[in-house]
Structure 1
């Protein structure tokens, strides 16, 4: 009952016209920031923190606006994934696999709409879970030690089998290259420099978002140059939305499962949205099986 009382007070504050206006503004700005590959939600919030101070906003209004910026940027990252095949942030990598093929088939609007619905459902599930289980989750997170982190990383590598294409060797090579990139920088446990070559910029390592945007964007650029030199490349157009209720209902089980897995992955220290998206994609491939056509534009 105490939780419901605090929740009612929170809704009373959040539903004030001023706070709703700043939430809408933050969501709109966040979507624009997220659509730019390489920025991401964290950078979007960091960019707009000075704006909150400059406007002299009340603490709760500033928090609402920055939260809306984060939520908008999380969805905005899917826009570049679907239309350009360049992930706006780490979790959007999985969106590239089917979102971009859908856009190539003339279903860009449907892909964007499905992504928006799934983002809303996932956020709703995570918020409800956080409200009900926050104290328990906080105590659970404190129990994590080296053994649990090792098991978590093993789980992350186990998900690679679920996204393997026709050539598993390419997947293993990509994972090895990712591990090599991740070893650059100062070791957090021992303070030892690894592959920094006394270059100050490498002391903090290679940022993950820079690595994935660089690898995805450069490959897309090379494809574009190759096709431009030949027959040319067809521009992705956003078609009029023709999403039917039947299609929305058909994706609800996947959305709910993804929301639950994402909530659990977000609770685990060091896991986050990236691992959640990989696990969910792998799980859905196992559940759907031959009925789906993953990687070819499966909603």
Structure 2
């Protein structure tokens, strides 16, 4: 029991720390937490046989990473995951400014979201303990039954935003694009992040150039800009290294 609690604490810390940075998706963070537990374990050879540390830490890291992503999203308007990017798009649709002004102008909404996290975790604990067997059986539902239900919910959700069939066809087309990308092994997360963040980046890029009189030096003259550029390069290199490890791990698991 104690080992599981300490592993959960370490996983939560890893998830919270990595959730603040873009690109470190929950799927990657779980591998990081698993690798950390395996490295510090006195019996690493038993990992893969149901060790509680190898289960508790990745799950805690996954939960911590997802919730920590709300910090840069609400505080700075920067999504760190595709899910956060879609939340940012939803905020924009309803005219809610993601960033510092969200708490000052729409504090009721922001603090309601924070409160919902506490309530959600409590409800998750209450529901999961007695109903864990039922949730596990949901995985046994054939995809030929579950797939049409999911597709119907997606179509209704797309239509309900603006009551437009254009949104429905757009969802279907991008669903096909996502299917092709998945079958080809192409990552979908960069496409979603680029689709959501692209217009924002262009807007602020033009504003920066207007403020500097068209000079590109504005992006390297100030120390904070240089720091973010260096951090961006480091994160790209780290992401490449992590993804290569994840790919190797998945290849080993498949064999």
Assess if the C-alpha contact under 8 Å between 2:76 and 2:99 holds in 1: no
Alignment match, 1:48: 33
Alignment match, 2:193: 213
Assess if the C-alpha contact under 8 Å between 1:26 and 1:66 holds in 2: yes
What do residues 43-96 of structure 1 show as CA deviations (whole Å, max 9, x unaligned)? Answer: 101122221111016733443322221111011222333244443334334532
Question: What secondary structure, in the 3-state scheme, does the structure 2 residue paired with 1:54 have?
Answer: helix
Correspondences of 1:192-203 after superposition (within 5 Å): 203=184
Assess if the C-alpha contact under 8 Å between 1:78 and 1:112 holds in 2: no
Alignment match, 2:206: 226
Alignment match, 2:154: 156
Q: Please state how far the C-alpha of 1:211 moved relative to its aligned partner.
A: 1.8
The TM-score, its normalising length taken from structure 1, stands at 0.55
Matched, 1:74 2:66: yes
Relative contact order (C-alpha < 8 Å, sep 6+): which is higher?
Answer: 1
Assess if the C-alpha contact under 8 Å between 1:75 and 1:116 holds in 2: no
Q: Please state how far the C-alpha of 1:222 moved relative to its aligned partner.
A: 0.9
User: Stretches of 4+ moved more than 6 A in 1?
Assistant: none
**Distance across 1 between alignment mates of 2:190 and 2:32:** 17
Correspondences of 1:13-32 after superposition (within 5 Å): 13=1, 16=2, 20-32=5-17
Q: Which runs of 5+ in 1 are unaligned?
A: 1-12, 188-202, 233-299
Q: Please state how far the C-alpha of 1:223 moved relative to its aligned partner.
A: 1.6
Alignment match, 1:178: 174
**Distance across 1 between alignment mates of 2:168 and 2:78:** 21
Q: Please state how far the C-alpha of 1:156 moved relative to its aligned partner.
A: 1.4
After superposition, the CA RMSD in angstroms is 3.3
Matched, 1:98 2:91: yes
From 123, 126, 131, the counterpart of 1:125: 123
Gap change, CA 1:170 and 1:103, over 3 Å in 2 = farther
Q: Please state how far the C-alpha of 1:30 moved relative to its aligned partner.
A: 0.7
Correspondences of 1:249-268 after superposition (within 5 Å): none
Gap change, CA 1:25 and 1:145, over 3 Å in 2 = closer
Alignment match, 1:89: 81
What do residues 4-24 of structure 1 show as CA deviations (whole Å, max 9, x unaligned)? Answer: xxxxxxxxx2xx4x6545433
Assess if the C-alpha contact under 8 Å between 1:85 and 1:216 holds in 2: no
Assess if the C-alpha contact under 8 Å between 1:37 and 1:80 holds in 2: no
Q: Please state how far the C-alpha of 1:227 moved relative to its aligned partner.
A: 1.9
Q: Please state how far the C-alpha of 1:173 moved relative to its aligned partner.
A: 6.5
Task: Name the one with the larger helix percent.
Answer: 2
The TM-score, its normalising length taken from structure 2, stands at 0.63
Number of matched residues?
199
